[in-house]
């Protein structure tokens, strides 16, 4: 059985797709995993780690006052990085890793945003565990989302 990164590599190469990521919560962990894909230099455009809100706003177009732990933020991050890096599809991570709640959101609250040439959206997850567990689950689900988008393209 193929791993998500093997499936992503295969789908991106077969369909001639380019992939980008925007990361807040995962601080580069997702890009690191995507970059491990076979021939990733041919299809992985890159990523942006936008941890602080001013970076999200000025670089990726998240409107001032947007809740950083929201579907709106996640979708805008994905749309922004897709445009910035001229990619066919993009996924973004944002949320609360924990161990404590933040801005009224419990630890483990995660949103994955996505953007393609024709559609955008966000998925909500509530993960349990310590921050390392939350980050690991987020990267795993983000990779699965990238695979789904690439295989449907």
Give all strands (DSSP E) within 6-150, no chain letters.
Answer: 19-23, 44-49, 89-95, 109-115, 120-126
pTM: 0.97
When pLDDT is cut at 50, 70 and 90, the band that residue 152 belongs to is very high
User: pLDDT averaged over the chain?
Assistant: 98
8-22 confidence digits (pLDDT tens): 999 999 999 999 999
Residue 3: strand, helix, or coil: coil
């Amino acid at each position: 059985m193929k791993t998500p990164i093997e499936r992503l590599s295969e789908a991106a190469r077969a369909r001639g797709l380019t992939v980008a990521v925007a990361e807040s919560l995962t601080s580069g962990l997702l890009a690191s995993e995507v970059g491990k894909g076979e021939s990733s230099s041919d299809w992985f455009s890159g990523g942006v780690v936008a941890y602080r809100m001013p970076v999200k706003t000025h670089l990726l177009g998240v409107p001032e006052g947007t809740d950083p732990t929201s579907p709106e933020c996640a979708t805008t991050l994905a749309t922004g990085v897709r445009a910035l890096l001229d990619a066919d599809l993009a996924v973004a991570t944002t949320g609360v890793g924990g161990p404590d709640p933040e801005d009224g959101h419990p630890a483990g609250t995660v949103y994955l945003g996505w953007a393609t040439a024709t559609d955008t959206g966000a998925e909500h997850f509530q993960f349990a565990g310590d921050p390392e567990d939350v980050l690991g689950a987020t990267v795993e689900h983000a990779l699965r989302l990238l695979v789904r988008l690439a295989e449907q393209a």
